[in-house]
Copies of this chain bind each other. A is one copy, B any other.
Amino acid sequence: MPGKTCNVALLGTKFMGRAHSNAYLKVAKFFEPPVAPVMHTVAARNEAELRQFAARWGWKHCTTSWKEAVANPEVDLVDIVTPNNVHAEHAIGALEAGKHVACEKPLADTLAHARQMAEAAAKARGKTFVWYNYRRCPAIAFAHQLCREGRLGRIYQVRGCYLQDWAGPETPLMWRFQGEVAGSGALGDLCAHTIDTVRFITGDEVSEVIGAAMETVIRQRKILETSGGEISGRGAATSTRTGPSTVDDIVLFVARMGSGALATFEATRLATGYKNSNRLEIHGDKGAIRFNFERMNELDLYDATLPEKLQGWSTINVTNGNAQHPYAGAWWPVAHVLGYEHSFINQTADILTVLGGKEPVVPLPDFADAYKVQRVLHAVTESSRNRTPVKLSDIK
């Protein structure tokens, strides 16, 4: 057990509040982080919900004032899971208070907000982290390692789709459809993950958005009687009135990477049949990899350096601690498979490792990193709006 501790203040209590609380609860049971997390304070606006949440998860304190939480000198790390449009205010406040900050993705609702956050991070004493948690899906971390070892060779092509189907006409107007809160729809919610993952695995950056389409397919949605509502919201009571959805249900774009590789990106909430199919294919001259989150314990590898007659798509169950699959040693025996929540716990372990002055298993995204993703989101939006290619070098 670590001797040092890290007092955490969590801002927000919804879906991600739950995922993060679970991670803090479990991380030191499975990992040996140099610093142990203490679930110190949780902050949210709805006091009744807040108290219940704190009691359930074992947060020691709770407050309806995020500023109070951030100002508390006992707090070491501020973890932000609030809506995208308040990330900047919360994160900059925390950085200015000298805290380490972990922020949910995307970094912000707008490029301007994201830039302010990156600038604040550059000046701050605290470290920053962004919850691009798919980097810590073991299969993705392993793909990163394989690519770094040169097993894919020169990258020719990338194909990334993040496919969900929950946003049909019956889904009500929850905050995720409100542009002023969410910033964007499938783009920031889903595609941001894919963009970060591609950067992470290949070490390459999108250099140009060649063409893009962002589409609000369902333009009017039923208004929710009560605020809130998690991802599906289908069970929630809705009124007969409707209001405009102002975000993209579907985003598609074709891009060029800095290395010259070509890429297609797609994110959609209308891909009937796919519930959470975050999938990625990367083709290089020496090999290729393929991933689908719905089968997250598997990474498919095509090794083009094997004798030709033996070449095939190999499905590797990336849960083998003896084989040094990333994070596998902390968990269960081989093929006693992991789930969605484990990516958050793995990330928490790495954050604590970095706070303890050590190296994470694979690189963690910070605000500077996440700002690079945000520039791509902005370029996609510009390209779609203006119907022109957009070079990333033109986005500051």
Interface positions of A (Cβ within 8 A of B): 1, 15, 19, 21-22, 25-26, 28-29, 55-57, 142, 156-157, 159, 161, 165-166, 168-169, 210-213, 215, 217, 230-232, 234-235, 250, 252-254, 256, 260, 262, 264, 266, 268, 270-273, 275-277, 281, 283-288, 290, 293-297, 300-304, 307-317, 319-320, 322-325, 332-342, 383, 387-389
Knowing that A157-B271, A159-B161 touch, tell me 20 more A-B residue pairs with CB under 8 angstroms: A15-B332, A19-B332, A156-B270, A159-B266, A210-B387, A211-B211, A217-B260, A231-B333, A252-B254, A264-B264, A270-B283, A271-B281, A272-B304, A273-B287, A275-B335, A276-B334, A276-B335, A294-B337, A308-B322, A312-B315
CA distance A268 to B282 in the complex (A): 13
Say how many copies of this protein the assembly contains: 4
- Report the nearest B residue to A339, measured CB to CB: B339
Using CB atoms, name the residue of chain B closest to A164.
Answer: B335
Checking B1, B290, B300, B320 against A275 with a beta-carbon cut-off of 8 angstroms, the contacting residue is B320
Q: How far is the CB of A211 from chain B (nearest CB, A)?
A: 1
Q: Inside 8 A of A57's CB, which chain B residues have their CB?
A: 29
Indicate if the CB atoms of B55 and A250 lie closer than 8 Å. Answer: no
Most chain B CB atoms below 10 A, which of A277, A294, A323 = A294
Q: Are A283 and B272 in contact (CB under 8 A)?
A: yes
A26 to B293, CA, bound (A): 24
Of B169, B286, B287, B387, the residue contacting A389 (CB under 8 A) is: B387
Chain B residues near A290 (CB-CB < 8 A): 273
Residues of B within 8 A of A323 (CB): 307-309, 311
Query: 30 A-B residue contacts at CB 8 Å?
Result: A19-B332, A21-B29, A22-B26, A22-B29, A25-B25, A25-B29, A29-B56, A29-B57, A156-B272, A157-B250, A211-B212, A250-B262, A252-B262, A272-B283, A272-B284, A273-B288, A275-B319, A293-B337, A295-B295, A297-B339, A301-B312, A303-B310, A309-B316, A309-B323, A310-B316, A315-B315, A332-B340, A336-B340, A337-B340, A388-B388
Q: How far is the CA of A252 from the CA of B277 in the complex (A)?
A: 21
Is there an interface contact between B312 and A166, defined as CB atoms closer than 8 Å? no
Residue in B closest to A260 when the chains form the complex, CB atoms:
B217
Q: Are A294 and B294 in contact (CB under 8 A)?
A: no
CB of A276 within 8 A of CB of B333, answer: yes
Considering the chains assembled together, what is the distance between the CA atoms of A142 and B311 in angstroms?
A: 13
Bound CA–CA A166/B311 (angstroms): 13
Given that A252-B262, A336-B340 are known contacts, is A210 also in contact with B213, CB under 8 Å in the complex? yes
Q: Which residues of B contact A230 (CB under 8 A)?
A: 333
Are A338 and B335 neighbours in the complex by a CB distance under 8 Å? no
Contact partners of A277 in chain B: CB under 8 A: 335
> Which chain B residues lie closer than 8 Å to A286 at the CB level?
272
Q: Is B339 within 8 A of A273, CB to CB? A: no
> Complex Cα distance A282/B331, Å?
30
A313 to B1, CA, bound (A): 38
Asked if A322 and B285 sit within 8 Å, CB to CB, the answer is no
Knowing A211-B211, A308-B320, A312-B301, say if A232 contacts B157 (CB, 8 Å): no
Give A210 to B307 CA distance when docked, in angstroms: 40
Of the candidates B268, B307, B312, which one forms a contact with A317 in the assembled complex, judged by CB atoms under 8 Å apart?
B312
A55 proximity list for chain B (CB < 8 A)? 1
By the criterion CB–CB under 8 Å, are B285 and A168 in contact? yes
Q: Which chain B residues lie closer than 8 Å to A300 at the CB level?
A: 312
